Structure formats: structure tokens, C-alpha cells
Amino acid sequence: MALINWEEKFQVNLNLIDNQHKKLVAILNRLHESMSKGKGGEVLESVIKDLITYTKTHFADEEKLMIENKYSQYDSHFIEHSNFITKVEQVYNDLSAGKIGLSMELMYFLKNWLLNHIMVVDKKFGDFMQTKSCA
């Protein structure tokens, strides 16, 4: 069973961003599925590394759109992105050093952060972009 089932309500109505969000959800679901099968430890580092790499790409694309369109909330959005990357990189470093292992707490942090970010912060940007398209 998936940790997150993609729903229409997650869409921000920007194809590139929605498709990237789906990919991020798929990465979290892959980790959750491995964990459910008792194989989370075997894939944890590689999945977290994939998450970091893909998240950086996604954030860069989102931020580029914000700059190009003079989005007034760019600074706060950028800070959220930076803080998330810092947190996930720290998790990766701690995993690599054997300081922590996979836990449901980590899974729910990743899930909650992503869904909250999409539903609140990214939705505002999507709404902003829709007004620009209609202008």
C-alpha cells in the first residue's frame, strides 16, 4: 500500500511542477514499500540520495519560474526549500554514519513536509501563475 496516493487536490496546475511532485511522491512510496517489506535498510541510503538529487532539481525549476515571473513570495519559498534540503542532507549523513536508521517518524516527516508544502506553499504559487496566465 502506498504511503501517498496522488490525488487531484495536490495539483498546482503547472504541468512541470505537478509531474515533478508526482515523482517525489513516487520516491517516498518506493521507500515506504521497501520498509513495509522489511527491506527499508537495504534501499534507504540510495532512496534518500535520490530524494535529495531530485528535490534539488525540482526546487531549482520551481525557483526559476518564480524568478522569471517575479513572484513576491520567492524569498520565503526559497528558505523553505533550503531548510528542507539541509534537513534531508543531515538525515542522509546520519544514515551513512550509522547514527540513525529508518523509522516511521522519518517517513511521516517526509510525507507531512511534502504534502504541506504542496498544499499550502506551492498552491499559492500555482494560483499566482494562473492569474498571470489569465492576464
Instruction: Please determine, looking at this structure, whether the domain spanning 17-32+44-130 carries the CATH number 1.20.120.50.
Output: yes
For residue 3, the tally of other CB atoms under 10 A from its CB is: 17
* AA letter at 21: H
d(CA 77, CA 66): 9
Give per-residue pLDDT as tens, 9-31.
999 999 999 999 999 999 999 88
Average pLDDT over residues 91-114: 83
Give per-residue pLDDT as tens, 110-131.
999 999 999 999 999 999 999 8
End-to-end CA distance of the chain: 42
**Whether the model pTM is above 0.75:** yes
